[in-house]
C-alpha cells in the first residue's frame, strides 16, 4: 500500500474520532463496523461502539425503516461512550443520509454512495430533490463516491470469469467503503484480509472478491485527489496488560463459563430465543467442552422451569431473556425464590412495553425484576455497567446465588449486549473462588437422623443445598409456604409472616456482606452526587469528567446492587446537597432511592432506544446541581 501520492497528503493527528457507517440492512453495515472496530483495537486505541439496527431482518430495501448503522468512537485516551455526534458519516443510500445527517457534527465529513442516489431511492427516503444538489450538504464536507460502481469495476475480472455474478459483486461494496475509511484513518487492513480469507475459506472466490474490494477502497482514497487529508489517532495509554475486544453478550457468556470453572459446577443454560439475549445462547452452545449444557426450550416458561430443575440437580443454572420473556418467567421465578435454589436469571433489557423496541436499548425492567412476581418475593438484583463488565457481573450473580441459595436477577441491556470495548483480560486465578460459596449437603442435619431442608446457616441465612441422591435426605420442595426447618407445607399464619420476614432478612444479609461503595470524587469536596446503574455508566463517567474539567466538583456512584441496596447508600445520599439520577426509563431507580432514603433525588429520563449522549448529561447535571446558568 505504498504510493508516492500518499506522501503529499497531510496526516492530521487527532485525539479521538467518531465514525458512523449507515446503510440498508442488507448492506452489511454491522459487519463493516465490526471489522473497523477490530482494526482500531489492534491499533491500540481505546474505543466504544454503538450498533443500531432495525427489528426487521430485511425491511424493504432503501426505506428509512431499513436503515442499519454502526458507530465507533476511538481515542488515544480513556473513553467511556460511543460518542455523541459523529465526525464522519458513511451513508450507503439516501435513507441512511436522511436518517443520520442531523446527528453529524457541523462541518463533518460525509461519504455517500452516489450510485444509490437514484430517483426511486430518493423517493423512498422522502427526498423530493437530491440532497446532494439542493444545498442540504453545504455545512458538511461532502465526498461523493460511486461505491457500487467502483466495486463492480474492481471485480470486473471476477464477474467475467464467472466467479461471481453481478449481485454478489455488488454485495462487496461495504468492503470498498471499509477500505476507504481505513485509509482515511490510517488503519491497517491486513487483519481484515486475513479474516475474510478465513471466513470464506470454503468459498475462496468470495474471499478474493471481498479482499479485492477492500483494497480498491483503500487505493481509491490513496490515488484520488478528493481527500486532502488523512487522519491518525495514536494508541491510547491504557493500563498495561493483555487486551481484547468484547461485546456485552460475549462477555456475559464468558463470565458464566468462568463462574462454572471457578465453582466447579457444570453450567446448565436453558433459554428461549429472544432479541437481544440470543447471542448468549449462541456463544455458550459453542462452549460445550467446558461441560456446558445448553437447552433451547419450547418457551420462556419452560426455559425457567428447566433452570429450576437443573439447580435442584446441582448444576450452575442460568437462563437469559429480555423483558417480554422475563414477564413469562415471573411465576416460575417465584417458585425458584420460595424453594431457595441458586440460579441466575439474566434480563438483556430492550425497549418496552410489550414487544416494544426489540433491537433498541432501555433500562425499564428494573421494577419488573424487583417486584414483578406475585406475593412478597424478594430476590437479589444486580446490573452490569459496560460490555466487559458483563463478565464480572455474571460471576457476581453466580456468587450471590450460590452463597445465599437464591435466584439472582442480572440486568444487562441492548446497548451493552451489542456494543464492544477493549477489555483488559483479568487474571483467571484472581477471579472469585466460587467453590467456597457452597457445599452440597449429603448428611442428615437432625439429631434423630432426619433431614430438615429449611434449616438455615446462621451467617448467610441460606438453607442446605441438598441434591437428590444421598439416602436419608429425601425431601419435598414446592411452591406452597414452607415451615421453617422441616420445610413441610404450612398454612400457619405466624409461620408465613416469619418466612416472609426471613426472606427479606436474607436479602439484607447479602447487602451487609458487600464491600464498601465506591464513590468517585477526585476533589473530595463535591456537594453534587450523580447516581447511576447499568449501561449509563459510560455516559455518566464521561459527563462527570467534562464537568470536572470545567471546574465543577461532582461525585459519582454507580450501583452494581439494586436489591439489596448497599446499606451505606442512604447515608451517602443524605450527605450531598443535590443527588441526581439520570436513567433510560421514567425514573425507576430514582423512585426506589426516594422511597428508601427519603432524599429528594432529581431525575432525568429518556427512552428513545438510544444511550444517553454525555453532552446531554453534562447539561442535566449542571442544571440539577447548580441551577439554570449553564
CB of 556 to another protein, least distance (A): 25
Whichever of 431 and 517 has its CB closer to another protein, that residue is 431
Whichever of 420 and 581 has its CB closer to another protein, that residue is 420
User: CA triplet 343, 349, 351: central angle to 5 degrees?
Assistant: 155
d(CA 549, CA 450): 66
SS3 187: coil
d(CA 625, CA 205): 60
Q: Could you tell me which residues come within 8 angstroms of residue 155 by beta carbon, excluding any fewer than 6 positions away?
A: 164, 169, 172, 209, 212, 213
d(CA 493, CA 348): 38
SS3 525: coil
CB of 565 to another protein, least distance (A): 29
Whichever of 53 and 312 has its CB closer to another protein, that residue is 312
Whichever of 200 and 290 has its CB closer to another protein, that residue is 290
CB of 555 to another protein, least distance (A): 29
CB of 544 to another protein, least distance (A): 25
Distance between start and end Cα atoms, the chain: 49
CB 208 within 8 A of CB 142: no
Whichever of 68 and 386 has its CB closer to another protein, that residue is 386
Whichever of 426 and 587 has its CB closer to another protein, that residue is 426
Whichever of 335 and 381 has its CB closer to another protein, that residue is 335
Whichever of 490 and 605 has its CB closer to another protein, that residue is 490
Whichever of 370 and 466 has its CB closer to another protein, that residue is 466
Length of the chain: 630
CA 539, 541, 546, 550 torsion-angle sign: positive
CB of 479 to another protein, least distance (A): 6
CB 308 within 8 A of CB 317: yes
Give me the helix-helix angle, 389-404 and 493-512, nearest 10°. Answer: 140
CB of 477 to another protein, least distance (A): 5
For residue 463, give the nearest of 402, 422, 524 by alpha carbon. 402
Whichever of 212 and 260 has its CB closer to another protein, that residue is 260
d(CA 569, CA 571): 6
CB 460 within 8 A of CB 452: no
CB of 422 to another protein, least distance (A): 9
- Give the alpha-carbon dihedral of 250, 252, 254, 260, to 10 degrees: -160
* Cα 576 to Cα 91, 522, 565, distances in angstroms: 46, 15, 18
Amino acid at each position: 500500500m505504498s504510493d508516492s501520492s500518499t506522501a503529499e497528503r497531510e496526516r492530521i493527528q487527532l485525539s479521538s474520532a467518531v465514525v458512523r457507517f449507515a446503510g440498508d440492512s442488507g448492506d452489511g453495515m454491522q459487519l463493516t463496523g465490526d471489522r473497523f472496530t477490530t482494526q482500531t483495537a489492534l491499533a491500540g486505541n481505546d474505543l466504544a461502539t454503538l450498533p443500531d439496527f432495525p427489528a426487521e431482518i430485511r425491511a424493504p430495501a432503501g426505506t428509512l425503516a431499513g436503515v442499519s448503522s454502526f458507530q465507533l468512537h476511538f481515542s488515544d485516551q480513556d473513553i467511556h461512550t460511543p460518542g455523541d455526534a459523529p465526525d464522519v458519516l458513511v451513508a450507503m443510500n439516501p435513507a441512511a443520509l436522511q436518517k443520520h445527517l442531523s446527528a453529524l457534527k457541523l462541518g463533518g465529513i460525509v461519504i455517500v454512495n452516489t450510485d444509490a442516489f437514484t430517483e426511486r431511492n430518493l423517493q423512498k427516503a422522502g427526498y423530493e430533490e437530491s440532497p446532494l444538489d439542493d444545498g442540504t450538504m453545504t455545512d458538511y464536507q461532502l465526498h461523493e463516491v460511486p461505491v457500487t460502481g467502483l466495486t463492480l469495476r474492481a471485480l470486473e475480472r471476477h464477474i467475467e470469469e464467472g466467479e461471481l455474478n453481478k449481485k454478489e459483486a455488488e454485495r462487496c461494496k461495504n468492503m470498498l467503503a471499509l477500505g476507504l475509511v481505513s485509509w482515511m484513518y490510517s488503519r491497517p487492513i491486513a487483519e481484515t484480509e486475513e479474516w475474510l480469507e478465513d471466513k470464506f475459506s470454503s468459498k475462496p472466490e468470495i474471499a478474493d472478491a471481498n479482499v479485492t474490494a477492500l483494497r480498491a477502497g483503500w487505493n481509491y482514497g490513496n490515488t484520488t485527489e478528493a481527500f486532502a487529508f488523512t487522519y491518525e489517532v495514536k494508541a491510547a495509554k491504557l493500563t498495561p496488560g493483555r487486551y481484547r475486544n468484547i461485546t456485552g453478550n460475549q462477555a456475559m457468556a464468558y463470565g458464566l463459563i468462568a463462574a462454572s470453572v471457578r465453582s466447579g459446577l457444570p453450567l446448565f443454560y436453558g433459554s428461549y430465543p429472544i432479541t437481544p439475549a440470543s447471542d448468549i445462547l449462541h456463544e455458550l452452545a459453542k462452549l460445550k467442552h467446558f461441560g456446558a449444557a445448553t437447552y433451547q426450550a419450547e418457551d420462556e416458561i419452560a426455559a425457567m422451569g428447566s433452570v429450576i430443575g437443573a439447580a435442584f440437580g446441582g448444576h450452575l443454572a442460568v437462563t437469559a431473556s429480555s423483558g417480554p420473556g422475563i414477564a413469562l418467567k415471573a411465576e416460575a421465578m417465584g417458585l425458584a425464590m420460595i424453594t431457595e435454589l441458586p440460579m441466575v436469571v439474566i434480563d438483556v433489557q430492550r425497549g418496552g412495553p410489550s414487544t416494544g423496541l426489540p433491537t433498541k436499548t432501555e433500562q425499564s425492567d428494573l421494577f419488573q425484576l424487583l417486584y414483578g412476581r406475585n406475593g412478597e418475593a424478594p430476590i437479589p438484583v444486580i446490573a452490569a455497567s459496560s460490555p466487559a463488565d458483563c463478565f464480572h457481573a455474571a460471576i457476581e450473580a453466580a456468587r450471590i446465588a450460590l452463597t445465599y441459595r437464591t435466584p439472582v436477577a442480572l440486568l444487562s441491556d441492548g446497548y451493552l449486549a451489542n456494543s464492544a470495548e477493549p477489555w483488559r483480560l483479568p487474571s483467571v486465578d484472581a477471579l472469585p473462588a466460587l467453590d467456597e460459596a457452597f457445599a452440597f449437603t449429603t448428611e442428615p442435619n437432625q439429631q434423630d437422623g432426619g433431614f430438615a431442608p429449611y434449616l438455615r446457616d446462621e451467617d448467610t441465612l441460606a438453607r442446605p443445598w441438598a441434591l437428590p441422591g444421598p439416602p436419608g435426605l429425601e425431601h419435598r420442595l414446592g411452591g406452597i409456604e414452607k415451615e421453617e426447618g422441616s420445610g413441610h407445607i404450612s398454612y400457619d399464619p405466624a409461620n408465613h409472616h416469619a418466612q416472609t420476614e426471613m426472606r427479606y432478612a436474607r436479602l439484607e444479609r447479602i447487602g451487609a456482606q458487600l464491600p464498601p461503595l465506591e464513590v468517585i470524587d477526585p476533589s473530595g469536596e463535591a456537594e453534587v452526587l450523580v447516581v447511576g446503574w447499568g449501561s449509563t455508566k459510560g455516559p455518566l463517567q464521561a459527563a462527570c469528567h467534562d464537568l470536572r474539567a470545567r471546574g465543577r466538583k461532582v461525585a459519582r456512584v454507580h450501583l452494581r446492587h439494586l436489591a439489596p441496596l448497599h446499606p451505606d447508600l442512604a447515608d451517602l445520599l443524605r450527605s450531598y446537597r443535590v443527588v441526581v439520577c439520570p436513567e433510560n426509563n421514567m425514573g425507576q431507580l430514582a423512585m426506589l432511592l426516594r422511597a428508601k432514603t427519603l432524599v429528594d433525588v432529581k431525575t432525568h429520563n429518556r427512552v428513545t432506544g438510544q444511550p444517553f449522549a454525555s453532552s446531554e448529561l453534562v447539561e442535566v447535571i449542571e442544571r440539577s446541581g447548580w441551577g439554570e446558568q449553564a
